[in-house]
Chain A
Amino acid sequence: GNSVTQMEGPVTLSEEAFLTINCTYTATGYPSLFWYVQYPGEGLQLLLKATKADDKGSNKGFEATYRKETTSFHLEKGSVQVSDSAVYFCALSVPSGSARQLTFGSGTQLTVLP
């Protein structure tokens, strides 16, 4: 089956620190990979995605590279801000029947302190 494993949180960083949130996956077939972000009291928003090996997704200073050889899609940001405090979810998608379903990791809570 399909599964996503994320590093456990919570993660607490000081402003301007470097961020890495690890994500590895197992999947049947050739998945597309995503990072979603959930701010307090809100739904999930797509942060970035990659659809094939060696693709790099990027958005708002965040980056993640699709590594097929290590089945990983680690999220990085060079300098975090207080406004980046949120829960981050790694997810994959493969075709399943008549729709593409997302399989989510358990989420990583990030808190950035001023």
Chain B
Amino acid sequence: NAGVTQTPKFQVLKTGQSMTLQCAQDMNHNSMYWYRQDPGMGLRLIYYSASEGTTDKGEVPNGYNVSRLNKREFSLRLESAAPSQTSVYFCASSESPPGVLLQPQHFGDGTRLSIL
């Protein structure tokens, strides 16, 4: 039972470098999400995708782009990394189609990203 798989688990970048974080889920979920987790701030939503082919901004989208490649995969790209983007990034997925009783989100184990 893989669930939500994130790669890589750890990464160190220099300021200005670019990088793509990968996420894949094998639960046939419609909705996928990217969060960042910073000390004392809980998780904040960066972008989400309600279904294949759609993406929307969350609370903190600046400096990031996303691609919903297919139903399984949702990638997060940092075009020009900045030290303020040092964080732990979590991908999540859920069934939750619009208007239907909420289903829980399932999380990956996270990517620990440091920007020097």
A106–B40 contact, CB under 8 A? yes
A104 cross-chain contacts in B, Cβ below 8 A? 42-44
Give the interface residue-count category, chain B.
Answer: 20 to 34
Please name the residue on chain A nearest to B45 by beta carbon: A101
A69 close to B (CB within 8 Å): no
**Sample of 12 further A-B pairs with CB below 8 A, known A36-B107, A98-B51, A98-B98:** A43-B4, A43-B92, A44-B90, A45-B107, A93-B102, A98-B54, A99-B49, A101-B48, A102-B33, A102-B43, A105-B42, A106-B41
A32 close to B (CB within 8 Å): yes
In the complex, how many residues of chain A place their beta carbon closer than 8 angstroms to a beta carbon of chain B? 25
A residues apposed to B, CB below 8 Å? 4, 32, 34, 36, 41-46, 49, 51, 89, 93, 95, 97-102, 104-107
5 pairs from A and B in contact (CB 8 Å cutoff): A4-B42, A41-B109, A44-B107, A51-B102, A100-B96
